[in-house]
Structure formats: structure tokens, C-alpha cells
Structure 1
Amino acid sequence: MSDPRLSRRKILLTGAAALATPAVARAQSTDAFPTDEPAIRDQTPVQRNISSFSTQNWQDHFDELGVGCLLADITSRAVHYWSGDGYSYRLYPSSVPMSEELTRRGYSRIVRKTEFPSWTPTASMRERDPTLPVRMEGGEPGNPLGTRAMYLDWPAYLVHGTHDTRKIGRQSSSGCIGLYNQHVEELYPLVEVGTQVRLL
């Protein structure tokens, strides 16, 4: 008398083999690996977001260096800085506004600088998200301005740090330009009040 468990096992194994046969046959077929495609070495490489880390010339954006120049390139999500003496140049990845309607472009200046800035959401921010606090003190966990802020002469527009590193390189702000905290801390002592700014 045969063992019924052995019969079930044989049935299951036979069924699994039958199901796998077409996949094995396809893998062994020459159709699975086309031979008429050009070799990868002969194809043009795809280049993505290369402008983010391409250097720029201040002369393309400003008439003079003054005490320094700061260019926020919204398209490539990068911040460029040139010192007033022309010797220092810095390039950092940045976050940019979430949408074109939140984006302001043109020329401005740095009018104020603050370490561990407090944050007061604008009325439009609170309208979009009623759960936002009325104010958040500097240094508090979750403060979206990070450890340093440089204020433009446009109300509510800043270049600032962020604790949320996921935002850098993305369209993620309500109008400001965001930097990693370590980058804004490096840039902060270099940027003087009066530094020219262009949002491009």
C-alpha cells in the first residue's frame, strides 16, 4: 500500500515543475537576450542634473562683487557664493520652493543674519496647514530654519539651514532657500550684511 503523503508530495512537485517549465524555456530562448542592440559602450551616457555642481561666473549675474554675491539657482537647486575680494567661491546643494507660485525671482540683498533663528509661519503657511504653531523659538527641535538664517530684503524670504536633510535637492520650501546646517554654518560667517543676492 502506498503512502498518501508521498503521493501528495509528488503531485505538488510535479505541478511546480510544470509551472516553471515555460519560464525556463523562455530564459533559454535567444529572444530573451536580443543580439541586435548596440553595445552600452557605444551609447551616449544619460546626464541628470549636472548643472547643480557646475561652477558659474559671478560676472554672468552681477555687475560687481561688492561685499559678496550669492546666487540661488532654483532650476539646478544650488547656491553659489563669491566673496567680495574674489578669492572665495562656494557651491552648495539646496532646497527650493515647492511650486512656481511660491517662487520669487530677481535681485535682493542680505539685510540681517541670525544664529538659531525663531520661526513665525506666514498667514498663507498657516492657511495651508492650520496645525502649524504661531511661533517656534530658535534651537527647538523641528524648527524649520535650522541653525542659521540670512534674511533678504523681501519679507519672509530667507536663506537658512534645515534639520530635515531630506529637503535638500528638492522642491520642498514655502519660498525660502534651504541648506544643510553644516553648509549654512560654513557660509554664514562669509556672508556680510549687504551681500547681493539673485534668485534665478
Structure 2
Amino acid sequence: MSSKIAGAAAGFLAVTLVAGTLAATSAQAAPSVVNFHGEYAPGTIVVKTGERKLYLVVEPGVAVRYPVGVGKPGKQWAGVTKIDGKYRQPAWSPPADVKRDNPRIPDVIPGGSPANPMGVAAMTLAGGEYAIHGTNVPRSIGGYVSYGCVRMYNEDITDLFSRVSVGTPVVVTQR
């Protein structure tokens, strides 16, 4: 095989491997545009705890759907609130109930640390200690895993973060 052909084959293989890796990552975290039933205004975030899905309503009858991790049994909540802050690489201080259950956890975990449960971004919710945030533990997505926060793949929180602003309404249901 000539060196020109071998070089082209190696280049093709490298591109194929990279593309396959990107496709697997994207497929894992890719939001879907879906039909959505409900009387929510465009721009509203709807979290359906029972489905472990977050929906961003983009127009009547249509939403972008993301898989999420939600509150553990006994840690779930439902209600209406709004985004009151947006943060990239946020530091995290555990709320009192987390600290009580895990007294060895540090008082503050710096942003960007692999031990930080907020991942690459967080959007805090008004009226409580909850947030919609990324995660450094992607296998937790799809489960009942948190103390009431909504966890997303880091790629998905980055996408949602770019689509919404402070003041965006958020509805959390137990369904």
C-alpha cells in the first residue's frame, strides 16, 4: 500500500473514530423536539418528575425534551416557580439536609471540580434551594437521585442555558 493511501486510510479511520465518539455522546444527550400537550406558554420549562423528563415549550403543542434526574423518594416537590439566577461553573454549598445526611461533605465545592454536583452550569429556582443543573455523574440521568434538584447531562444544561433567561417560568409536576 502506498504511503499516500495508508495516510488517507489512517485519516479516514481517525475521522470515523472521532465521529463515532461524538455521535455516541450526542445521542446520549441530544434533546428531542416532540409534540407536547398542555396549556403552557412558549418559553415555559415543564419538569415531569414521573417521566424524568424536562420540556421547554417552544410553541403551542411543541417542546424540546431532555432526559433528567429528579428528587429521590421523599425529596421530590411540585410547584410553580421561575429561574432566578444563571451560573457557569458554579461553586456549590450543600444545603442543610444534604450536610446532615453527609456530614463529611465539604462546606463548599469549587466550580469546575469533578466532585461538584452542579456540573458545567446551574439555573437556580426562586423560593427554595433547588436548581436545574448539569452533572458530573451522567449515569444518574433518568433516575430518582437528587435532593429535589433537576439534573441534566452537561451538554443538555448548556443547550437549555442558552435558550432561557432569568424569569423563565418553571412548572414541576409529579406526573
TM-score by length of 1: 0.66
Q: Cα offset for 1:86?
A: 6.2
Aligned partners of 1:94 and 1:180 also within 8 Å: yes
Aligned partners of 1:145 and 1:160 also within 8 Å: yes
Aligned partners of 1:61 and 1:198 also within 8 Å: no
Q: Cα offset for 1:152?
A: 0.6
Q: Give the distance between the partners of 1:87 and 1:155, measured in 2 at CA.
A: 30
Aligned partners of 2:34 and 2:64 also within 8 Å: no
Q: After TM superposition, list the pairs within 5 Å mapping 1:1-200 onto structure 2.
A: 55-57=35-37, 60-62=38-40, 64-65=41-42, 68-83=43-58, 89-99=63-73, 101-200=74-173
Larger relative contact order (Cα-Cα within 8 Å, sequence gap ≥ 6): 2
Aligned partners of 2:35 and 2:63 also within 8 Å: no
Q: Give the distance between the partners of 1:180 and 1:154, measured in 2 at CA.
A: 24
1 or 2, which has the higher strand percentage? 2
Letter in 2 for 1:56: F
Aligned partners of 2:87 and 2:123 also within 8 Å: yes
Q: Cα offset for 1:141?
A: 1.6
Q: Secondary structure at the residue paired with 2:44?
A: strand
Aligned partners of 1:55 and 1:91 also within 8 Å: no
* Residue 138 to residue 87, structure 1, CA distance change in 2 (3 Å): farther
- Identical positions, percent: 29
Q: Secondary structure at the residue paired with 1:138?
A: coil
Q: Cα offset for 1:89?
A: 3.2
Question: How big is the alpha-carbon RMSD for the aligned residues of Structure 1 and Structure 2?
Answer: 2.1
TM-score by length of 2: 0.75
Aligned partners of 2:36 and 2:62 also within 8 Å: no
Q: Cα offset for 1:102?
A: 1.1
Q: Give the distance between the partners of 1:88 and 1:112, measured in 2 at CA.
A: 26
Aligned partners of 2:82 and 2:125 also within 8 Å: yes
Q: Cα offset for 1:82?
A: 2.0
Q: Give the distance between the partners of 1:88 and 1:186, measured in 2 at CA.
A: 17
Q: Cα offset for 1:131?
A: 1.3
Aligned partners of 2:45 and 2:54 also within 8 Å: yes
